[in-house]
Structure 1
Amino acid sequence: MLLGVLVLVLIGLIVALVVRNAGSSDQASSTTASAAPATFGPLGDLSRRQADDPRALGEVDAPVTMVVFSDFRCPFCAAYARDIEPQLVEKYVDTGKLRIEWRDQPIFGKESELAARAGWAAAAQGKFWEFTTDVYADAPQTGHPDLPIDVLVQHAEAAGVPDLDRFRSETLSDRYAADIAADAAPTEEFGIIGVPAFVIDGEPIVGVRPIETFEVVIDQYLGGR
């Protein structure tokens, strides 16, 4: 009889211990899941999220950010801007899910550097994206277009930049040299040598890819928020 009672007590203790541990495990899992921070890819968070950034598209607090490294003389950058970006804007930016931030990576010589300064000069007058659209709309399928100052002024005029004299003066100056260098700094740090290059919440994509490539990565990071 005594042995039977001891067995019953032992079984009761085991059951109580299992139930208590299971409850503690469930509570810990719930706490961990609710407190889990946002995660980023191998390059980390390169976004700036400046509310007044004229070279950004989308809400400043959008859950996912894509940083785009581009050169105005790059035909593949132009292909992305014409064919891929409008689809991303419609599907993700306009719905508040994605923010796109531009970064200069002028790698094709002096005219690339001049065009980068022109982009900043257009942005200073609130016409960066219009200027970008006009430059890329006129880009060839292959090769690097000539973009001397007079051609850049023509693009600025077509984009609706109001003060063309100011645009010309700022483009020919070194006013934005430090800004352009800061834009390109991450590409040097991480060894990104081609354009266009994209970093979606730290996940790199180099070169023009099908729209599905961007969607998979964006959806992946949206799912983790």
Structure 2
Amino acid sequence: MKSNKLMALGIVFSIAVLIVIGTIAYSIINDKKDKGNEMFAYSTQQSLGKDDAPVKVVEFGDFKCPACRTWDVTVLPRLKEEYIDKGKVQLYFINFPFIGKDSDLGAAAGEAIYKQDQDSFWIFYDEIYQSQKKDTEEWITEELLLNIVKEKLPKVDVEKFKKDLHSKEITEKVRKDSDRAQKLKVQGAPSVYVNGNLANPDFDSMKKAIDKELKK
């Protein structure tokens, strides 16, 4: 009888311990989410991948940035194949328009396109990098942007895009991204964060950081 009582108490204690551990783990996970939301405002950013992906990767970029174009061509395809498409990583792009006056125009175009269709933004992301010229030139023009929309983005309404491009709403989104980069003291582009931690943007360094987060 006494043995049965001790066994029952042991079971109750074990369950209580599991509940406490589960509560702590849940709290840690949500603290990370809250930290990320505070730092990057995930829900307002342009994203690629599943919302429930355990690892959040943030890229601060400028469409005029040559290194960002290289990252798009060499790193993103591998990141997409090995992590994003498998539901392990969700990628967020945050505007960091710092190179020239037309950097802001490129950022606004991305926001205006994303507002209409999420997938179209990532097509635009590739297309504008393919159109990149010297960073000393003001090559991001409304003519270029309209050509991309008309020729490559059938899901985007051209007239709505033209209206949104210079709207207060879109301008404010770009400004908030710039303020966020300044607050985080972003030094250059691409700057990459893995679950809130700054990482080197090369694929091997990112892979190491992502795999470390996946093991937690």
Which TM-score tier does this pair reach, normalised by the shorter chain? Answer: 0.7 to 0.9
Are the structure 2 counterparts of residues 189 and 120 from structure 1 closer, same or farther at C-alpha, using a change threshold of 3 Å?
Answer: same
Q: Post-superposition shift, 1:175?
A: 3.1
TM-score (norm. length: structure 1): 0.74
Deviation at 1:47, TM superposition (A): 4.8
Q: Pick the aligned partner of 1:156 from 149, 160, 167.
A: 149
Question: Hey, which bits of structure 1, 4+ residues long, moved more than 4 A?
Answer: 30-34
Percent identical among aligned pairs is 24
Which structure 1 segments of 5+ residues have no match? 1-26
Partner of residue 96, structure 1 = 87
1:191 counterpart letter in structure 2: K
Q: CA deviation at 1:183?
A: 1.8
Residue pairs, 1:134-145, within 5 angstroms: 134-140=127-133, 143-144=135-136
After superposition, what is the alpha-carbon deviation per residue over 1:160-188, rounded to whole angstroms, capped at 9, x for unaligned?
A: 14322222232233331211122223321
Q: Is residue 75 from structure 1 mapped to residue 66 from structure 2 by the alignment? A: yes
Aligned residues: 191
Paired position in structure 1 for 2:55: 64
Correspondence 1:213 to 2:205 = yes
CA distance in 2, matches of 1:116, 1:202: 22
Match of 1:223 in 2: 215
Once residues 176 and 149 of structure 1 are traced to their aligned partners in structure 2, the CA distance between those partners, rounded to angstroms, is 15
* Distance of 2:90 and 2:208 partners within structure 1: 16
Closer/same/farther in 2, CA of residues 165 and 123 from structure 1, 3 Å limit? same
- Distance (Å, rounded) in 2 between the aligned partners of 1:100 and 1:83: 15
TM-aligned CA deviation for residue 56 of structure 1: 0.6
Q: If each structure's helix is expressed as a fraction of its own residues, which one has the higher value?
A: 2
Tell me which residue corresponds to 1:7: none
Structure label with greater radius of gyration = 1
Query: 1:117-136 to 2 correspondence within 5 Å?
Result: 117-126=108-117, 127-136=120-129
Partner of 1:124, secondary structure, is: helix
The answer to whether 1:200 aligns with 2:189 is: no
- How many angstroms does 1:136 deviate by? 1.0
User: What 5-or-longer segments of structure 2 have no aligned partner?
Assistant: 1-15
Q: Which residue of 2 aligns with 1:181?
A: 175
